[in-house]
Amino acid sequence: MNAGILGVGKYTPERILTNFDLEKMMDTSDEWIKTRTGIEERRIARDDEYTHDMAYEAAKNAIENAGLTPEDIDLIIVATVTQEANFPSVGNIIQDRLGARHAAAMDLEAACSGFTYGIVTGAQFIQTGAYKHVVVVGADKLSKITDWDDRSTAVLFGDGAGAVVLGPVSEDKGLLSFVLGSDGSGGKYLNLKEENDKLYMNGREVFRFAVRKMGDASLEVLEKAGLQKEDLDLLIPHQANIRIMEASRERLDLPEEKMIKTVQKYGNTSASSIALALVDAVQEGRVKDGDNLLLVGFGGGLTWGALVLRWGK
Ligand SMILES: CC(C)(COP(=O)(O)OP(=O)(O)OC[C@H]1O[C@@H](n2cnc3c(N)ncnc32)[C@H](O)[C@@H]1OP(=O)(O)O)[C@@H](O)C(=O)NCCC(=O)NCCS
């Protein structure tokens, strides 16, 4: 049984925080942020708007978009690092709110690689025939763990959620190959500081790692799928920094129009970044039946994940 995407949904908070707003909050400039990262603005959740609220909206929209009801769902996987409590999980909370009575639920932590890990995990249940419909959500409220006194990280992140419904698709469609990886020795470069529960990052080390791994993982997953660079229709990379994304695109010899870019409007939204980029691409009509998509991400852990998907049912 092949596992593919049957529906997509997203949620982004209403409040927009622009680079010009940040100029008033800290010693930074629109020019610095734009040239170093490609980010122009990001969405910030309200104080009383939590990761599970965003995850719920995205999942609800994806289930509707798939033409299903919550009762059709067998499993909910939420990739996140910003749950309000270790348990109950965000998955449990939204399972109840959705009324997904028959669904099992869990959270998965792989930081910004979480959505790729989630799709690969969910697909296993479909491929074995154990489950028919799996919701995979990438949701994070990074503003909650952002150190607003650290200008080198505070300007990078945003909040949001994206979701897909996975289900069985025809033989030549769906997930064709994947690569997942971990290098825990790099955990020191990107983590939650114990003293204040805020994000710490060594930007240069993460940048170096990201450029290398995004390129390597992309080429590896393409080969595993038995495809050539020119067979690729869309690259959907983790939206952390336009310079890292461009390096991946160049390793794959792809023209600009084949890469989905949302970093300018959402910033780095962690586990939801690739999900939001995919949903926007679908909603803008940029994904056609039979297209070969490459999703690739990296993040805290350190982790990375890449997968090739052929679009359609
Ligand atoms: C964070 C990042 C944008 C910094 O870009 P960079 O080109 O490496 O910049 P540097 O760290 O060399 O800093 C250059 C200067 O800008 C300054 N600077 C840092 N943040 C700034 C800001 N927001 N506004 C203005 N200046 C800033 C630094 O203090 C430094 O000044 P100095 O030279 O006087 O010391 C870049 O390292 C990066 O994107 N790394 C990867 C991060 C990432 O993708 N994380 C996602 C994990 S999932």
pLDDT for res 172: 94
- Average pLDDT on 153-177 reads 97
Strands 41-43 and 159-169: unpaired
Instruction: Determine the atom of ligand 1 nearest the C-alpha atom of 154.
Output: 23
Place 310 in a pLDDT band, splitting at 50, 70 and 90: very high
Residue 216: CB atoms within 10 A of its CB come to 17
* Burial of 202 per CB tally in 10 Å (0-12, 13-18, 19+): middle
- Average pLDDT on 5-24 reads 98
Residue 22: CB atoms within 10 A of its CB come to 22
d(CA 36, CA 56): 33
pLDDT for res 62: 98
Q: How far is the CA of 36 from the centre of ligand 1 (A)?
A: 7
Ligand 1 site residues (CB inside 6 A) read: 28, 32, 36-37, 112, 151-152, 155, 190, 201, 203-204, 206-207, 210, 240-241, 244, 268, 299
- Average pLDDT on 15-37 reads 98
- Average pLDDT on 127-133 reads 98
pLDDT for res 185: 98
Which tens digit of pLDDT belongs to each residue from 79-127?
Answer: 999 999 999 999 999 999 999 999 999 999 999 999 999 999 999 999 9
Closest by CA position to 60, among listed 101, 102, 83, 94: 94
pLDDT for res 253: 97
Mean pLDDT value across the chain? 97
Which tens digit of pLDDT belongs to each residue from 220-233?
Answer: 999 999 999 999 99
- Average pLDDT on 257-262 reads 98
- Does residue 268 carry a catalytic annotation? yes
